[in-house]
């Protein structure tokens, strides 16, 4: 069975990305173990602190962030990490001259933790713009999706999955506990171009801007979409990739720029969707064309099969 090593043979950057993606795999295994034992270790529930977005941090948000950062440090190839859980760029002092920066949502969908629902980790990797002799700075992370070199997610569900791309299509790997390897279970994922589901927090529909509620009614009829919503972007996107349809988090009158974060939610998922033959749009432009202005910037997102996304944005 092929393993994560398959990445090393893909495209111009596969071999270079390999150690960092293996680091993501190690972090995934550790985070999965922490999640499984959380209730016994007293690490479920709120940490009592807020992150930069003003959201209550869960203890597991903070723990996952620490595990991910440690594994990125251990690769020796990452000079800095931009994380949902850290206001500022986190420079890895031991490796300030390394080439790569990683953007991460260490634990996505953390409101699912209390109900033993699926959660995830989302990441993307960019090359620094500053010289290797300098200390990396926040503007090194502000790169459009078209300049991303690798991206992916981990899904903590009934199986532990790592889905990623280095720009040569999308592969899904499932952790095999009997040999402690991520094995290739879903080679070259292509999103179905018809059918599937629409996935959105529809309780916000009265506040959606740009007539989105009416557009969605029309698209779900013409595209014959069912409805599913987990409330964890990783799980909702994973279903969208495999079954088709569309995941959306539109702008609304409370959040005019949407809820999801450009650098560690929209761009990595947009990159994967496009690599799988789908479409990723903000309503104004392709997700991958947005030039980021800030580490924690938000954007509306429409991610999915081409026809479903086009029906919503046109």
Please state the closest distance from residue 162 (CB atom) to Mn ion, in A: 17
For residue 263, the number of C-alpha atoms closer than 13 Å in the C-beta half-sphere is 26
Residue 201 binding result from ligand AHG, Mn ion, none, given CB thresholds of 5 to 8 Å by partner type:
ligand AHG
Rg (CA), the chain: 18
Measured from the CB atom, the residue of 4 and 32 that comes closer to Mn ion is 32
Give the C-alpha separation, 129 to 51, whole Å.
27
65 binds Mn ion (CB under 5 A): no
In sequence order, the 6+-apart residues with CB closer than 8 A to the CB of 217 are none
CB of 124 to Mn ion, least distance (A): 13
Strand partners, 172: 163, 186
Rounded to the nearest whole angstrom, what is the least distance from the CB of residue 99 to ligand AHG in the complex?
A: 27
Residues 153 and 120: beta-carbon distance below 8 Å: yes
Question: Taking the complex as a whole, how short is the minimal distance between the CB of residue 169 and Mn ion, in angstroms?
Answer: 24
For the chain, the distance separating the N- and C-terminal CA atoms, rounded to the nearest angstrom, is 43
Query: Which partner from the list ligand AHG, Mn ion, none does 295 bind, CB cut-off 5 to 8 Å by kind?
Result: none
- # binding residues, Mn ion (CB under 5 A): 4
226, β-bridge pairs: 197
In the complex, which residues of this chain contact ligand AHG (CB under 6 A)? 55, 84, 105, 108-110, 201, 231-233, 259
Length of the chain in residues, anyone?
314
Q: C-beta of 78: minimal distance to ligand AHG in Å?
A: 21
- Helix ranges (DSSP H) in 189-281: 212-222, 233-243, 267-275
Q: Residue 200 binds which entry of ligand AHG, Mn ion, none, with Cβ cut-offs from 5 to 8 Å by kind?
A: none
Give which of 156, 152, 183 is closest to 29, Cα–Cα: 156
78 strand-pairing partners: 100
**Out of ligand AHG, Mn ion, none, which partner does residue 231 contact, by CB within 5 to 8 A per kind?**
ligand AHG
Q: Are 83 and 70 in contact (CB under 8 A)?
A: no
**Contact of residue 232 among Mn ion, ligand AHG, none (CB under 5-8 Å per partner type):** ligand AHG
108 binds Mn ion per the rule CB under 5 A: yes
Please give the Cα distance from 257 to 198 (Å, whole number). 21
Show the site string, 74-103: x = touches Mn ion by CB under 5 A, - = not. ----------x-------------------
Q: Which of 20, 23, 102, 105 binds Mn ion (CB under 5 A)?
A: 105
- Stretches 27-35, 106-114, 171-179, 289-297: which one binds Mn ion (CB under 5 A)? 106-114
**CB 130 → ligand AHG: shortest distance, Å?**
28
User: Rounded distance, CA 106 to CA 27, Å?
Assistant: 10
Q: How far is the CB of 187 from Mn ion (least distance, A)?
A: 27
Interface residues toward Mn ion, by CB under 5 A: 84, 105, 107-108
């Amino acid at each position: 069975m092929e393993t994560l090593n398959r990445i090393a043979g893909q495209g111009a950057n596969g071999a270079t990305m390999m150690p960092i993606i293996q680091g993501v795999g190690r972090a995934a295994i550790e985070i999965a173990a922490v999640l499984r034992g959380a209730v016994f270790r007293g690490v479920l529930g709120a940490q009592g602190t807020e992150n930069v977005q003003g959201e209550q941090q869960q203890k597991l948000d903070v723990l996952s962030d620490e595990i991910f950062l440690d594994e990125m440090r251990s690769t020796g190839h990452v000079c800095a990490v931009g994380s949902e859980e850290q206001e500022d760029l986190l420079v890895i002092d031991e490796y300030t001259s390394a080439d790569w920066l990683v953007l991460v949502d260490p634990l996505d969908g953390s409101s699912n933790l209390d109900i033993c629902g699926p959660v995830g980790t989302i990441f993307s990797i960019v090359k620094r713009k500053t010289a290797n002799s300098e200390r990396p700075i926040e503007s090194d992370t502000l790169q459009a999706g078209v300049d991303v070199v690798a991206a992916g997610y981990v899904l903590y569900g009934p199986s532990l999955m790592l889905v990623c791309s280095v720009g040569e299509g999308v592969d899904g790997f499932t952790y095999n506990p009997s040999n402690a390897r991520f094995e290739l279970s879903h080679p070259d994922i292509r999103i179905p171009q018809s059918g599937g589901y629409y996935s959105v927090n529809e309780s916000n529909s009265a506040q959606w801007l740009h007539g989105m509620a009416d557009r969605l009614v029309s698209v779900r009829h013409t595209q014959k979409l069912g409805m599913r919503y987990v409330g964890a972007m990783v799980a909702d996107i994973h279903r969208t990739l495999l079954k088709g349809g569309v995941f959306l988090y539109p702008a609304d009158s409370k959040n005019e720029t949407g809820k999801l974060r450009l650098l560690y939610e929209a761009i990595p998922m947009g990159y994967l969707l496009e690599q799988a033959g789908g479409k990723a749009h903000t309503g104004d432009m392709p997700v991958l064309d947005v030039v980021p202005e800030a580490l924690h910037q938000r954007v509306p997102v429409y991610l999915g099969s081409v026809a479903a996304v086009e029906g919503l944005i046109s």
